[in-house]
Each structure stands twice: as C-alpha cells, then as structure tokens.
Amino acid sequence: KAGVTQTPRYLIKTRGQQVTLSCSPISGHRSVSWYQQTPGQGLQFLFEYFSETQRNKGNFPGRFSGRQFSNSRSEMNVSTLELGDSALYLCASSWVNGDTQYFGPGTRLTVL
Amino acid sequence: ELKVEQNPLFLSMQEGKNYTIYCNYSTTSDRLYWYRQDPGKSLESLFVLLSNGAVKQEGRLMASLDTKARLSTLHITAAVHDLSATYFCAVDMTTDSWGKLQFGAGTQVVVTP
C-alpha cells in the first residue's frame, strides 16, 4: 500500500508570497492532519480534515488555511509568508479518529 | 491544555547498554503513540498504546503505558547504532481530539560504540 505523499518536497519563497502544499493520504484514509515542525517550537498541530470538513484547528493565524477534496487529498495554503513560517510541514493520514497517524515525507519550506 | 513532557531531551547511549525514555502528560488520555524520526526524514510510527498497562515490543524497543500515572516509557535494550534517531511520544485527548496529536519535545538519541 502506498504511503502518504506530499508535494513539493522543497520550496523556497520570499516574504509576502503565498504557498500551497499538497498531501495525498494512504488509500482509504479519510482523516488528514497537518503539522508544522520547527527546531524552536517542535511539532505543532495545524488542522485536521475529514470528509472535506475541517474538524479541528490549532493555534495558528488565519494566514494558514487548508481544504480537503472528495478523494481525501488535502492542500494547505499559507498566505503573506513570514520568515518564521520556514519549517517542515508534515501531513498525516489515518482511517478514523484515534487511529495511528501515518506521516508523509514533509515539505521543507524556506522563506527568504 | 494538554502538555506532554519527555525526558531526557538528549541521550547518549553506549552500545550494548539499556536505557529508558520517559513521557509524562498532563490530562487524562488513554491513547499514546511513539514515533521515530531520523535526521531530515519524516516520522515513523513505532507503537500505539491504547489502555492502561499496555505493553508493546518490537526488537530492542519496548513501550508501556500507565494511564493512572499519566506516564509512558520507551525502553531500549542493548542499544545499537541503528537506533540513533529522535524519539517522540504523542498523546491525543480521548474525546474531541479530531486528529490532533500533542507531541513531546522529542528525545535525541545518539548511540556510540
């Protein structure tokens, strides 16, 4: 069974730009969660989607948004990028709530 | 707010010796996860512990959960170099978690001869 895939793997943007990251979950998984990982703050939850609905959101500004499509693929968008948004963005999928989350390889975003 | 504390944050291990990583969490939960992360890589699921007293073992790693003490341990037996990585524990709330895992800060493990 194919794992979670994320594209692109690496991105370099400048301040003020916006970026869209994509995540394809494991086949059959309907829950997709997003996390930001930085050396200073560690792993922080961004949001979770299930059946195209955002069910949970972490403590991030409104510049961070996401969506999920009917095939469970998910995208997250960051607008008006700031230097502090430089991070590894990880997507994880699971079959149902409380099931083990399986993580993708991540997208490394660098904001200059 | 759920808080998850791991200790130690850094662990230098000698090959062949045994070590333990501790994970404490602040509120009631009976689902705890252990993940491993190699440098520059994503998180690999190691164990999920679902009830008080749960014990899981895989190779040289053994994880246990005490929900009354809000404590999980990851025990490493006879450490080998391949176990060098960062280990994270993560907890979710039993209700209303909706995909949110609260992670500990991670324990960086370095195994030397």
Identify the residue whose tokens are 């992670």: B103
Tokens of B76: 């490493």
Q: pLDDT tens digits, residue range A61-108? A: 999 999 999 999 999 999 999 999 999 999 999 987 778 999 999 999
CA nearest to B96 within chain A: A56
Q: What is the band of B50 on the pLDDT scale with cuts at 50, 70, 90?
A: confident
SS3 B39: coil
Q: Any chain A CB within 8 A of the CB of B99?
A: yes
Do B26 and A89 contact (CB within 8 A), yes or no?
Answer: no
Tell me the pLDDT of chain B averaged across its residues.
92
| Subunit contact B99:A56, Cβ cutoff 8 A | yes
**Between B29 and A71, whose confidence is greater?**
A71
The DSSP secondary structure of A2-14, one letter per residue, reads ---EEE-SEEEE-
Q: Please return the burial class of B104, using the count of CB atoms within 10 Å of its CB with bins 0-12, 13-18 and 19+.
A: buried
Give A13-71 pLDDT, tens digit per residue. Answer: 999 999 999 999 999 999 999 999 999 999 999 999 999 999 889 999 999 999 999 99
Between CA B111 and CA A1 the distance in angstroms is 32
CA distance B67 to B88: 18
Question: What are the chain B neighbours of A102 within 8 Å (beta carbons)?
Answer: 45
Q: What is the pLDDT of residues B67-113, one digit of tens each?
A: 999 999 999 999 999 999 999 999 986 566 667 899 999 999 999 98
Chain B 57-96, residues with CB within 8 Å of chain A CB atoms? 88, 90, 92, 96
**Which pLDDT value is given to residue A42?**
96
Among B38, B58, B98, pick the best mutation site for testing chain A contact (most A Cβ within 10 A): B98
